[in-house]
Amino acid sequence: MFQLAQGGTIYLTEIGDLPLPLQVKLLTVLDDREFFPLGSQKKVRVDVRLITGTHRDLKQLVQEGRFREDLFFRLNVLRVHLPPLRERDGDVRLLIDHFLQMFAASFKKNVKKLSAQAVRLLGSYQYPGNVRELRNIIEYGVNICRGEIIEIEHLPPYVPADAGKPPRAAAAAVAPGSPESGNKGSGGTEKELPDNAVSWSAIEKRKILTALMQTGGSRTDAARVLGWGRTTLWRKMREYDLG
């Protein structure tokens, strides 16, 4: 690796997970600027810049004896703190656009954008898997989407975390003619769902698409996964125009 990067830069991710024996070897290379290649008895000089990353607290690992203190100070020359994605709202939309273009081109699909509701949903998501999770979400959406716009139902079922049940506003029964029913003729004012509300039909459609994807398009197997009869699945697929 060091030979291939001669004159360039090496990035080592999750340096905090490096075993202690390898930490010793890395420290030796950094201090001496030379090493013995595997199977060789001749030292090789190296000239590389090393950048490392970690999500761990290296100072804490040093105190616990799981990371060498001398290596810590050898690496800790210029420190850059990169906040997690959930704290970088402005980056979410940029990354959505980037991954959308990348996967649309890779899969040769004419997916052009996400709906405003899908963008709002992803903007409020916490991303425990950080950027990799957002990447996977967009890849999933491009795979599932059959048109030009990725809607709420094209996102993985776990986005948002409570997508397994309809929002209260969407599930509540409304009496005809009441202000909540949107019947302006009765003198009431129209009341819309919040922008981030997810309709039950969108949730159900997403469940069907996910089951079909998991079963390779087999409707019989998808119905079994969903706990429905085949007739129920076919009826709902017609209802949601899923072919």
- The answer to pTM > 0.85 is no
Average pLDDT, the chain: 81
C-alpha to C-alpha distance for 242 and 229, rounded to whole angstroms: 17
Q: Beta strand 44-45 with 34-35: parallel, antiparallel or unpaired?
A: antiparallel
Binning pLDDT at 50, 70 and 90, where does residue 168 land?
very low
Amino acid occupying residue 76:
N
Domain boundaries, given as residue ranges, for the chain: 9-75, 85-165, 199-243
Instruction: Say which residue, 194 or 238, is predicted with more confidence.
Output: 238
Q: Which CATH architecture has domain 85-165?
A: Orthogonal Bundle (1.10)
Fold match between domain 9-75 and domain 199-243: no
CATH number attached to the domain at 9-75: 3.40.50.300
CB atoms within 10 A of CB 174: 12
Report whether 48 contacts 7 (CB < 8 A). yes
In order of 22, 23, 34, 46, 78, the CA distances from 6 in angstroms are 20, 20, 11, 6, 21
- State which fold the 199-243 domain adopts: Arc Repressor Mutant, subunit A (1.10.10)
Token match 């290649």: residue?
A: 37
